[in-house]
Chain A
């Protein structure tokens, strides 16, 4: 006989409550198509440029952006790869540091009282100020860029994880103590798994802002190398008024952020199976 918990998985995806894939994807694509269509119309007729009293070449149409995406694909891909490396490395640094920091602050009341205000303070520093200073101190390598991304990502991950660790059911702690669990066993077998969904929420927020942080880092470093990242490319193109390529680079950045967000959401569903 088929055990019932197998049955539940077999039914996944065939429920009447879930609309067909086409039905779910249609609304966002329709909205996107309408927006792009409207923009194309307004830009190609010169309506936006007229309204803003600008030269028409400063207002690229979606078609021109698409052309730029295609023609500059090698340049964009090279720079996207540089940015992606900064984003990923910085993000993983933030995950490691954030989790350890959250665990330490959770396990020690004294540490929590001492460091929590500092944690909040770290987010009040304007990134546009700290980024150039880090460049001055640490030079123009990948290090300062990683530091900026990690600094930005660290906060949502740490705060969410601390909240998660604290959300443990006190009855479950009593249960574990009654079963002779040591402090570290309570942490590993009860508190850490409880905090996982919170950790993933923090990670999703972090990865979205990581891309913005990477752009700031690249802007501050204003590297003169061949491929210095999409942020660097955007700021160079700003000076050259290459507006179509600015939009193209921005689209690539968005795509990176959305893809990373999606990857984390998939990882979350795989890991947090009990929800």
Chain B
């Protein structure tokens, strides 16, 4: 029986240390294989344009958040969206996923315009991990199959097959509060992936992590995406993260958001994160993106 919260401080620390170790040793090698088991997303593969946005406008009452945004994400492309805080990046992501309706403009996901079809193609990963605290790590990851009507045992089997490759082996029955930040984020990502949708919409997936864990998670996600390509829209305020993970980075201005600059990301992700982010070309692009951000906030 659980009585006092303070009793869990020590074990929490313990699992954190263990979690970080796994970040560095196991995950980089094993993440490469996860695509094989996760299968190809439903509805994919379809060549051509995955997400098309033309003249997209959105406002909350009087407040205009998006003032005519044009974007295109090819199938299996990774688009990074960077912009100052509160510029409407997250709103744009929710629009793409069909969680909101635009005020004007064209918004298509694999050719579908209505919100329900967009939602059917996009897996949304919110900013915080929002793991349900009463479910074990395994049951949290298995939410998507459960919602699709799978039996508990079947859904668990589906999720458990990926636990080891996500560096989560042995933590199937742990409650979210017993996991480290990096592990929670991996459970959240696994949960998103198991929705088996062609587009992954990631809203600041690593914003809540400490610097070291964040760098490790970025490297892990990069290798995961190399192994199992998905169409990804990645919202972040971290320019380096966007340039490292995405093939193309779009810099948005302060609210109302418009596109200030668009950059093609340079180095192949597989080269390793440390090598990639210190590459002179990468550094030059980072400076250009920073300049665009500064220009956009003026």
Contact = CB atoms under 8 A, between A and B. Distances in A.
A176 B143 contact: yes
Contacts of A12: 1-3, 7
Interface stretch (B51-59, B64-72, B129-137, B271-279): B129-137
Contacts of A11: 7, 10-11
A179 B132 CA distance: 13
Interface stretch (A98-106, A114-122, A185-193, A227-235): A185-193
A139 interface: no
A273 B170 CA distance: 20
B122 interface: yes
B174 interface: yes
Interface residues of B, number: 47
B128 interface: yes
Of A177, A178, A189, the most chain B CB neighbours within 10 A belong to A178
Contacts of A181: 143, 147
Contacts of A189: 132, 143, 146-147
B177 A274 contact: yes
B134 to A, nearest CB: 5
Contact of A171 (B119, B122, B126, B176): B126
A140 B178 CA distance: 55
A108 interface: no
A18 B4 contact: yes
A174 B99 contact: yes
Interface residues of A, number: 34
Given A4-B18, A5-B178, A172-B130, A178 B119 contact: yes
Contacts of B10: 8, 11
A28 interface: no
A3 B170 contact: yes
Interface in A239-275: 269-270, 272-275
A193 B2 CA distance: 17
Contact of B123 (A5, A8, A178): A178
A171 B128 contact: yes
A180 B147 contact: yes
Interface in B1-35: 1-8, 10-12, 14-15, 18
B191 interface: yes
Given A8-B8, A11-B11, A274-B177, A180 B134 contact: no
Of B3, B94, B132, the most chain A CB neighbours within 10 A belong to B132
Nearest to A185: B147
Nearest to A9: B2
Contacts of A172: 126, 130, 132
Contact of A180 (B15, B130, B132, B148): B148
A155 B232 CA distance: 48
A7 interface: yes
Of B2, B133, B174, the most chain A CB neighbours within 10 A belong to B2
Nearest to A13: B3
Nearest to A1: B170
B97 interface: yes
B134 A274 contact: yes
A263 to B, nearest CB: 14
Contacts of B134: 193, 272-274
Interface in B182-213: 191-192, 195, 201
Contacts of B124: 174-175, 177-178
A274 B133 contact: yes
10 contacts: A3-B174, A4-B15, A5-B15, A5-B174, A8-B12, A177-B119, A178-B99, A178-B201, A180-B144, A185-B147
Interface of A: 3-5, 7-9, 11-13, 15, 17-18, 169, 171-172, 174-182, 185, 189-190, 193, 269-270, 272-275
